[in-house]
Amino acid sequence: MTDRAQATRERILAVAERLYAEHGVLAVSNRQIGEAAGQGNNNAVGYHFGTRTDLVRAIVREHAGPIERLRRRRLDGVGGDAPLRDWVGCLVHPTSEHLAGLGRPTWFARFAAQVMTEPSLRAVIAEETLTSPSLARTLDGLYRCLPGLPAEVRAERDDITRLLLMHTMAERERAIAEGAGTAGWRGTATGLTDVLVGMWLAPVTK
């Protein structure tokens, strides 16, 4: 791939992520993305990425790799007998650290939240993120801390964790972009970790 083609792909990815985050995935056409990316060819997005699903997957992969590396690094400092909070931190902090390192504004958290609300595309997020080796290791450690938790309750709390993580990050990203609020990414991650630890330790009503 030539430098020019690579630059075009990167520009399309950045513009698509922003437009999807702002307007929703299905509300934005490939043509609109191409125009916003300065492409005179109406088929530029399709030429470089294929379908909308392929473009969404490419955006997710652009971020999933760095988040995976941050989580592996964090796991290197966590022993097998670490307390629950350390494992929850391995769920939360890699994403917040990645977003903090991107500068301002960022769009990925809001993009991911938009994708997860679209049934035809949410599988892309699952395929690209939930199969992460570091995530599997993190969840194994978390589950070891709660051996008596019934399987159905664990599955329910997995879902709650994903929702809280995704939508809290999206709302914080929006607030930071708009200059609202005082909590930065570190404070957001710490507070979210507190909440999730409390949720996982909550009693189970019989």
Interval 24-45: pLDDT, tens: 999 999 889 999 988 867 678 8
Contact between 84 and 41 under an 8 Å Cβ cutoff? The reply is no
Contact between 121 and 115 under an 8 Å Cβ cutoff? The reply is yes
Quote the radius of gyration of the chain (alpha carbons, Å). Answer: 18
What domains, with CATH codes, occur in the chain?
Answer: 1-50 (1.10.10), 52-201 (1.10.357)
Terminal C-alpha separation, the chain: 59
Amino acid at 129: T
The tens digit of pLDDT for each residue in 61-99 reads: 999 999 999 999 999 999 888 999 999 999 999 999 999
Global pTM reads 0.90
Distance of alpha carbon 178 from its chain centroid, rounded? 20
